């Protein structure tokens, strides 16, 4: 009788181990959050040497994790992150204002000024060309990060800097 009871206990352990492994696996898996949509203005005007871009991001996380950060990138050399205010697992949107200094968008070339209607060796016609590359349509790439560090696939929005 004791031998039979021991066999039943061993059999029960064999059945319980895969279930325990699956339960532990579910706790360590962390799917990345998903951006559902991005709303950004079509045109943003420079004010006081910066561009303030209000962005609304709609998202969800299948794991029920809170989204805690937003990463942004804008060519040629702008990259940063912003904390999501009051992260909450039930929250599925956030409004964040990305502030980019106009000088961060310069192409690194020195300022060139030509006077009058003269043209310089490069065909420039008298305008101050410092920052000439900062204006125009730009791709703003966004991704979100959940509380355990999983990052979404990036989504892009086009913003014209004026």
CB burial of residue 149 (10 Å; 0-12, 13-18, 19+): exposed
Structural domain count of the chain = 2
pLDDT at 162 over 70: yes
CATH number for 73? 2.60.40.10
* Shared domain check, 86 and 152: yes
Of the two residues 13 and 67, the one the predictor is more confident about is 67
pLDDT value of position 116: 38
**Digit-coded pLDDT (tens) for 9-33:** 565 555 555 555 445 545 668 899 9
Q: Is position 16 within any domain?
A: yes
This model's pTM is above 0.85 = no
Domain ranges, residue 9: 1-29
At residue 119, the 3 state secondary structure works out as coil
Helix residue spans in the chain (DSSP H) = 2-28
The span from the CA of 121 to the CA of 78, in Å, is 31
Indicate if 95 and 153 belong to the same structural domain: yes
Same domain, 74 and 100: yes
Nearest alpha carbon to residue 108 among 74, 73, 76, 140: 76
* pLDDT bracket for residue 109 (50, 70, 90): very low
25 shares its domain with 41:
no
């Amino acid at each position: 009788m004791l031998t039979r009871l021991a066999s039943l206990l061993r059999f029960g352990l064999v059945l319980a181990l895969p279930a325990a492994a699956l339960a532990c696996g579910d706790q360590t898996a962390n799917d990345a959050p998903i951006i559902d949509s991005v709303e950004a203005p079509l045109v943003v005007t420079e004010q006081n040497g910066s561009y303030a871009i209000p962005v609304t991001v709609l998202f969800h996380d299948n794991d029920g994790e809170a989204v805690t950060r937003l990463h942004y990138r804008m060519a040629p050399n702008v990259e940063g992150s912003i904390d999501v205010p009051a992260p909450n697992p039930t929250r599925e949107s956030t409004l964040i204002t990305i502030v980019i200094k106009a000088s961060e968008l310069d192409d690194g070339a020195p300022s060139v000024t030509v006077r009058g209607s003269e043209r310089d060796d490069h065909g420039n016609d008298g305008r101050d060309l410092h920052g000439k590359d900062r204006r125009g349509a730009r791709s703003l790439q966004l991704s979100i990060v959940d509380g355990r560090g999983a990052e979404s696939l990036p989504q892009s929005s086009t913003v014209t800097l004026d």
